[in-house]
Chains A and B, each alone.
Chain A
Amino acid sequence: MHTKVTLFVQCLVDSIYPRVGEAMVEVFRRLKVPLEYPADQTCCGQPAFNAGYAKEARAAARRFVRIFESAEAIVCPSGSCVHMVRHHYPELFADESIDYRMRVKAVGNRCYEFSEYLTDVLGVVNIGASFPAKVSYHDSCHLLRGLGIGEQPRTLLRHVEGLQLVEMDDSDVCCGFGGTFSVNYPEISTAMVDDKIDNIVATGADYVTGCDVSCLMNIEGRLSRRNTKVKVVHIAEILASRAGHNDE
């Protein structure tokens, strides 16, 4: 019997890309994993933390710990949020009591990124998905360098029926999002995402995918402005696809 998974969907997924959350639900249902979703979750605090606003981030973190600490397994479709909870929450609460710090650590230990949870915890690599298309994969910074997750998403993608995985040059180079960086230093951010898109286009891929909605939103926004015909899809959406039911 599978452990119940508590969904931590990420604020961007909740508000802008709910279909990513739905895709996660679909995948877990197929694997017969019981789910729960604490409805009053909001944000892990990362946007504030990365911009230097640790006090504000702490408020969000405290709330997160309160909402999620009774969960057995917390799964999130975003590597950067998981990195926040695992690596930065202990820093945020370094001055708290030892008890609280242990609670925070425990929450971090039970928090997983979606692809990581499927391959490393559930031991599943084939979800029975079908997605006939040429797809390129973008390695998000916190996911790859912060959490060490790079093989797991690729393994899952290789087991998707009909999917042709084409590696882009510099898949691990930052897409230029960086949170407030993208709006405070837009010329630099745009120059970086342009390089990323040039690399995607060079592969001839129909889709670009990844495990972090922040990156994908950044890439999608620029693709759209450049009128480039590559579509953006989160890995959960690919894995949720079945033959004849391709996601747009």
Chain B
Amino acid sequence: MSDVEKSAYRRDARRGIDDECLQSGLQKIQNRFGKGAMHYWAETADDGLRDRVKKSRMETLENLDVVLSMLADNIEAAGGHVYYARTAEDAVDYCRRVAVKNEVKSVVKGKSMTSAEIGLDAVLEAEGMEVTETDLGEFIIQLGEDRPSHIIAPCIHLDRQRIGRLFQEKLDIPYSEEPPELTQAARRALRKILLEADMGITGCNFAVAETGKISLVSNEGNIRMSTTMPRIHLALMGIERVAATMSDHQGMLQLLTRGAALQKLSTYVSFVGGPRQPGDPDGPEEFHLVMIDNGRSRILADEEFREVLACIRCGACLNICPVYGKIGGHAYNSPYPGPIGAVVSPLLFGINRYADLCKGESLCGACLDVCPVRIDLPRMLLALRRKLAYGDPAWQTTRHKWLEAMGFRLWRTLIASGPAYRLALRCAGLLQKPFISKSGMIKKMAGPASAWTRDRDLPPLASEPFSRRWKKKYSQAAKATSSEVDNG
């Protein structure tokens, strides 16, 4: 297997780069939303908002036990159920039990990355339940047996022609590639399912501890329908997705809708929690909140990485990242792609397993600039790289690239000694001669550097390094100037 094939990240990155449809979609969202977000932060009057929200997020995380306890108490007081899922399996099993106990035949889902994280859909389908994604992008993904490639715009990698053909085939409608018509077709197809479903499963944008309500942010109305019409509503919530108070929520909400799609506010923000009141004709009879740990408490415990839990899942970092902008979401092979995914996926699912996500960025820092809550992702990527360089038993991480480690050990020996370094340069200067082409550039290198010369030329080492030129040409003159200076 070639190097590229050995790495799913590199193989899928290559596919993404070659996919013209994906490239077109990525350019659209990055130009509009990535640059738009940067522009907005630069222009916005209340610059302090980001710092205030960051501070409140960190304070909430530092008191997460108290906050979650208050949330649970308030939900239970309103007649809701709270389940504490340590692992993905716990969460999935609880959902399955609730569905089976209530003889659920049909499940409708609002977009939830957490549900993908825990692998819920397959388990419910194995019970013979019909599971339908109702967010338009996720619906399209589900119809096409595809995977989402962006956390806010899941099918940005598909163009209208592909979607048109998909709808023609799967929804049995005449071919159309006009987004309004396609959207209308989905509206019709999903309305009946939404009205007749037994159970609605959603994620949770932010829960509010002091009110015992969860908030759900959307534009389409499918989440409102999924939480209003079925008799059971089950919400999945990563333990970090909670605000202590409505005041905190206000700031987080405004940053979320701005960061995600430059909106002052999304079309719908609903606050729900607990079963319907007696006499209500709609609203669920049962409300369940599943709090999911699945490795988050371990991240919380490590002060180097705790900050990543402040994420509000807006997707702005995906919209600004030049690497994501070339490779697309599938290359990350994780429910969480993009810069945030590059930190969170290794921490949740295994640092060695996702080594390519830790190392496969250029560390340009754009994500830090655009993040509404100023999460220092580059700092954490470097920390992850250090774990891969030396191993870390606390995180079950072993050394990643033995050859690279040896290379840097050798490098250290050379740069630690002036004479050794200069000698190495001289040797390299001789050894390179057969590789220098007529144009003066090196077209093909051997060994690890061959990855460079695959697509780029390499300038050769200069015949005389600067240090030697200085000695020859300048040091006398410099001494002269210095003594001029000293002598006034």
Q: How far is the CA of A173 from the CA of B177 in the complex (A)?
A: 33
B451 interface contact, C-beta 8 A:
yes
B364 adjacent to A40 (CB under 8 Å): no
Min CB gap A35→B, angstroms: 5
The contact string, 1 if C-beta is below 8 Å from chain A, for chain B 1-41, is: 00010000110011001000000000000000000000000
Q: How far is the CA of A181 from the CA of B458 in the complex (A)?
A: 16
Q: A22-B469, A34-B482, A56-B411 are in contact. Are A184 and B474 (CB under 8 A)?
A: no
A176 interface contact, C-beta 8 A:
yes
A222 adjacent to B456 (CB under 8 Å): yes
Contacts of A37 in B (CB 8 A): 467, 470, 474-475, 478
B395 interface contact, C-beta 8 A:
no
B469 adjacent to A18 (CB under 8 Å): yes
Contacts of B471 in A (CB 8 A): 39
Q: How far is the CA of A186 from the CA of B454 in the complex (A)?
A: 8
The contact string, 1 if C-beta is below 8 Å from chain B, for chain A 112-139, is: 0000000000000000000000000000
B485 adjacent to A221 (CB under 8 Å): no
A165 interface contact, C-beta 8 A:
no
A52 adjacent to B323 (CB under 8 Å): no
A150 interface contact, C-beta 8 A:
no
Min CB gap A246→B, angstroms: 19
Min CB gap A104→B, angstroms: 18
Tell me the chain A residues, 1-27 only, with Cβ under 8 Å from chain B.
1, 4, 9, 11, 13-19, 21-22, 25
Q: How far is the CA of A9 from the CA of B468 in the complex (A)?
A: 13
Q: A9-B466, A14-B467, A18-B465 are in contact. Are A185 and B416 (CB under 8 A)?
A: no
Min CB gap B485→A, angstroms: 5
A53 adjacent to B389 (CB under 8 Å): yes
Identity of the chain A residue whose Cβ is nearest the Cβ of B478 in the assembled complex: A35
A42 interface contact, C-beta 8 A:
yes
Q: A141-B362, A142-B365 are in contact. Are A225 and B457 (CB under 8 A)?
A: yes
Q: Which candidate, A156-164, A187-195, A202-210, is the interface stretch facing chain B?
A: A187-195
Q: Is the interface of A mostly helix, strand, loop or mixed?
A: helix
B369 interface contact, C-beta 8 A:
yes
B439 interface contact, C-beta 8 A:
yes
The contact string, 1 if C-beta is below 8 Å from chain B, for chain A 137-175, is: 000011001100000000000000000000000000110
B361 adjacent to A25 (CB under 8 Å): no
Q: Which candidate, B237-245, B263-271, B401-409, is the interface stretch facing chain A?
A: B401-409
Tell me the chain B residues, 70-96 only, with Cβ under 8 Å from chain A.
none
B427 interface contact, C-beta 8 A:
no
B421 interface contact, C-beta 8 A:
yes
Q: How far is the CA of A16 from the CA of B428 in the complex (A)?
A: 11
B430 interface contact, C-beta 8 A:
no
A52 adjacent to B389 (CB under 8 Å): yes
B441 interface contact, C-beta 8 A:
yes
Q: Which residue of A4, A15, A32, A190 is within 8 Å of B455 (Cβ)?
A: A190
Tell me the chain B residues, 419-466 only, with Cβ under 8 Å from chain A.
421, 425, 439, 441, 443, 448-449, 451-452, 454-462, 464-466
A106 interface contact, C-beta 8 A:
no
Interface size on B, residues (CB 8 A): 73
B13 adjacent to A188 (CB under 8 Å): yes
B466 adjacent to A13 (CB under 8 Å): yes
A43 interface contact, C-beta 8 A:
yes
A102 interface contact, C-beta 8 A:
no
A188 adjacent to B382 (CB under 8 Å): no
Contacts of B467 in A (CB 8 A): 14, 37, 39
B482 adjacent to A177 (CB under 8 Å): no
B449, B460, B462: which has the most chain A beta carbons within 10 Å? B462
A50 interface contact, C-beta 8 A:
yes
A222 adjacent to B455 (CB under 8 Å): yes
Identity of the chain B residue whose Cβ is nearest the Cβ of A47 in the assembled complex: B411
Q: How far is the CA of A77 from the CA of B182 in the complex (A)?
A: 55
A186 adjacent to B416 (CB under 8 Å): no
Q: A42-B418, A48-B408, A186-B451 are in contact. Are A54 and B389 (CB under 8 A)?
A: yes
A178 interface contact, C-beta 8 A:
yes
Q: How far is the CA of A59 from the CA of B485 in the complex (A)?
A: 35
A141 adjacent to B459 (CB under 8 Å): no
B461 adjacent to A15 (CB under 8 Å): yes
Q: A21-B470, A51-B404, A192-B322 are in contact. Are A35 and B481 (CB under 8 A)?
A: yes
A109 interface contact, C-beta 8 A:
no
Contacts of A15 in B (CB 8 A): 425, 461-462, 465-466
A188 adjacent to B482 (CB under 8 Å): no
Q: How far is the CA of A183 from the CA of B458 in the complex (A)?
A: 12
Q: How far is the CA of A59 from the CA of B420 in the complex (A)?
A: 15
Q: Which residue of B368, B385, B485 is within 8 Å of A52 (Cβ)?
A: B385
Identity of the chain B residue whose Cβ is nearest the Cβ of A45 in the assembled complex: B415
Q: How far is the CA of A59 from the CA of B454 in the complex (A)?
A: 32
B386 interface contact, C-beta 8 A:
yes
A60 adjacent to B323 (CB under 8 Å): no
Contacts of A48 in B (CB 8 A): 408, 411-412
A55 interface contact, C-beta 8 A:
yes
Min CB gap A227→B, angstroms: 9
The contact string, 1 if C-beta is below 8 Å from chain B, for chain A 43-77, is: 10101111111111001100100000000000000
A53 adjacent to B322 (CB under 8 Å): no
A42 adjacent to B404 (CB under 8 Å): no
Min CB gap A101→B, angstroms: 18
B153 interface contact, C-beta 8 A:
no
Q: How far is the CA of A170 from the CA of B368 in the complex (A)?
A: 17
A220 adjacent to B421 (CB under 8 Å): no
B363 adjacent to A50 (CB under 8 Å): yes
B359 interface contact, C-beta 8 A:
yes
Q: How far is the CA of A141 from the CA of B368 in the complex (A)?
A: 12
| 17 A-B pairs whose Cβ atoms sit less than 8 Å apart in the complex | A16-B461, A19-B462, A34-B481, A36-B482, A42-B416, A47-B411, A51-B385, A52-B359, A52-B387, A56-B408, A59-B415, A141-B362, A179-B363, A186-B454, A188-B360, A221-B441, A222-B457
- Interface residues of A, Cβ cutoff 8 Å to B: 1, 4, 9, 11, 13-19, 21-22, 25, 29, 32, 34-37, 39-40, 42-43, 45, 47-56, 59-60, 63, 141-142, 145-146, 173-174, 176-193, 195, 217-218, 220-222, 224-225
- Interface residues of B, Cβ cutoff 8 Å to A: 4, 9-10, 13-14, 17, 322-323, 326-327, 356, 359-366, 368-369, 382, 384-390, 404-405, 408-409, 411-412, 414-416, 418, 421, 425, 439, 441, 443, 448-449, 451-452, 454-462, 464-467, 469-471, 473-475, 477-478, 481-482, 484-485
The 10 closest A-B pairs by CB, nearest first: A52-B385, A178-B362, A40-B418, A221-B456, A174-B364, A52-B389, A18-B466, A224-B457, A21-B466, A141-B364
